[in-house]
Amino acid sequence: MIDFHSHLDLYPDPRSVANACSARGLYVLSVTTTPAAWAGTSALAHGAPRIRTALGLHPQLAHERKSELKLFERLITETRYVGEIGLDGAPDFKRHWDDQLGVLTRILDISQAAGGRIMSIHSRRAASAILDELEKRPGAGIPILHWFSGSSRDLDRAIGIGCWFSVGPGMLQGEKGRMLASRMPIDRVLPESDGPFAQIDGRPAWPWEAASVLPVLADIWCQYPSDLEQQFFHNLARLGNGAIETMPARPER
């Protein structure tokens, strides 16, 4: 199975979790929250060919870690994956909006200059602003909107500019999340856990529990779970085997 957004380095015993993922044959995108975490987090993937590490700077930390953008730029050549990046418009973080936006735009520029990257993007209460910045930089790579919670209009816009989506059990617990998932293109969706932040039964989700989205999404999309699992593997292969795609040119308005 696949977990396309997991914070392996933030579990109490990251090495044991990484080993368990490998033992299960799990494909994992291990995201980071700061460039300084890159060395330790990428080390978790040593000897684990199905674990890929993404270089990130989380929007909730942008105001504290913006000085690490120079390190981000130095490290960008070491990975095809960027994340977790984005914007967060929740009240606790909106006051740092200018820092968040400055960090995001710089990261998108760096990714575009590097030829494009596969990007796992946080967009809580900020979907429209995220899409504005992505439209300005179609060469930044493939945006994968993690745990998307924007409006239906935002979703339509995201689909129109070529965004992908990663969907986890946390997103599917609510009616709105299931409604949004029902409208996502099946060939641009991947499972995620968002562990250890996301919760299942009141405790942190494990990466292999990303598989719990299969029966829910299969029901939503009127698919057999086994067929849907194969679809997810096909989607992952398109990302892993193909050249970095870029988004369509910015539409006329």
Beta pairing class for 117-122 and 189-191 = unpaired
- CATH fold of 2-241: TIM Barrel (3.20.20)
Average pLDDT over residues 236-253: 58
- Identify the pLDDT of residue 242: 54
54-86 pLDDT tens trace: 999 999 999 999 999 999 999 999 999 999 999
List pLDDT tens digits, range 176-186: 999 999 999 99
- Global pTM reads 0.94
pLDDT tens digits along 133-157: 999 999 999 999 999 999 999 999 9
Higher pLDDT, 242 or 225: 225
Whether residue 35 has pLDDT greater than 50: yes
pLDDT over 70 (residue 208): yes
Residue 253 has pLDDT above 70, yes or no: no
Statement: residue 241 has pLDDT above 90? no
Judge whether residue 160 has pLDDT over 60: yes
> What is the model's pLDDT at position 245?
47
The CA-based dihedral angle spanning residues 223, 173, 179, 27, taken in that order and rounded to the nearest 10 degrees = -50
Contact criterion met (CB below 8 Å) for 144 and 231? no
State the alpha helices, DSSP H only, in 60-198. Answer: 62-65, 69-75, 91-94, 97-113, 127-136, 152-160, 175-182
Domain ranges of the chain: 2-241
pLDDT at 246: 45
User: For the segment 90-125, what is each residue's pLDDT rounded down to a tens digit?
Assistant: 999 999 999 999 999 999 999 999 999 999 999 999
In the numeric block, which tokens belong to residue 124? 């809580």
